Amino acid sequence: NAGVTQTPKFQVLKTGQSMTLQCAQDMNHEYMSWYRQDPGMGLRLIHYSVGAGITDQGEVPNGYNVSRSTTEDFPLRLLSAAPSQTSVYFCASSPGIYHTGGRNQPQHFGDGTRLSIL
Amino acid sequence: DAKTTQPTSMDCAEGRAANLPCNHSTISGNEYVYWYRQIHSQGPQYIIHGLKNNETNEMASLIITEDRKSSTLILPHATLRDTAVYYCIVRVAFNAGNNRKLIWGLGTSLAVNP
């Protein structure tokens, strides 16, 4: 039972390069989200999705794009990497429509992608 | 805009109970309190959540005060593998819709010592 799988685990980019962080879950969860974790700060929500074909912005969405073509996958794209995007990125999933308050389901997290932008 | 307050760090002897406090005095009446932990270099792991009644599962117990302004996570017999950062979290609305997000603070760094 893999849970939430993130790839790659580590990545170094140059400023201006683009890349996609992959996230896949095998639990048939409706809700998926991306967070970034920076030193001295708590996890911050970048984007989230309440189901296939539906995405929305979190609190720090600038510089990132997402799509949700299937229930299983929720990739995060950096179109033009900047040093300020150096961070650890976590993907999470949960059953139900977590953010609307209808169900209080815990989130399952991947082990993160450590991204450095030079 | 952290909605919870936790001690920065705590120590606990192996085999003893670890009691981690959290203040959430501004929590609204229908919001749950969630606890997660993060072991070094891993993703956060869900522990437990509750609304107003005490809760227990295979990992921990959660004691919520009657006024719901604070709670305590109890690890009954701490082991070295429980060394981690523990987050006490509530949800807040963050846009014009009915969407809410978890507010992640910096948590409590728990060191379990042999």
Separation in Å, CA of B98 to nearest CA in chain A: 5
The tokens of A56 are what?
């929305």
Angle at CA of residue B49, ends B36 and A94, nearest 5°? 70
And the tokens for A94?
């949960």
Phi-psi region of B65 (alpha: psi -120 to 50; beta: other; left: phi over 0): beta
Residue B71 and residue A68: Cα distance in Å, rounded?
37
Q: CA-CA distance, B58 to B76, in Å (whole number)?
A: 10
**CA–CA dist A64, A89 (Å, integer):** 12
**pLDDT tens per residue across span B67-84:** 999 999 999 999 999 999
Q: Answer whether residue B29 shows pLDDT above 90.
A: no
The pLDDT assigned to B61 comes to 97
| Mean pLDDT, range B11-15, rounded to an integer | 96
Average pLDDT of B2-8? 85
Mean pLDDT, range B15-31, rounded to an integer = 90
Are the C-beta atoms of residues A38 and A94 closer than 8 Å to each other? no
Distance (Å, rounded) from C-alpha B58 to C-alpha A15?
A: 46
pLDDT digits (tens, 9 = 90+) for A49-81: 988 999 999 889 999 999 999 999 999 999 999
A100 pLDDT band, cuts 50/70/90, is very low
Interface touch B44/A42, C-beta < 8 Å: no
pLDDT of res. A102: 45
Give contacts of A106 with chain B, Cβ < 8 Å: 34, 36, 46, 49
What average pLDDT does chain B have? 89
Tell me if chain A has a CB within 8 Å of the CB of B35: no
pLDDT higher than threshold 90 for residue B98:
no
In degrees and rounded to multiples of 5, residue A47 shows phi and psi of -145, 160
**Percent of chain B that is helix, strand, coil (3-state, to 5):** 5, 45, 50
Cα torsion angle, A39, A42, A45, A50, sign: positive
Predicted local distance difference test score (pLDDT) of residue B97: 57
Chain B contact for A39 (CB, 8 A cutoff):
no
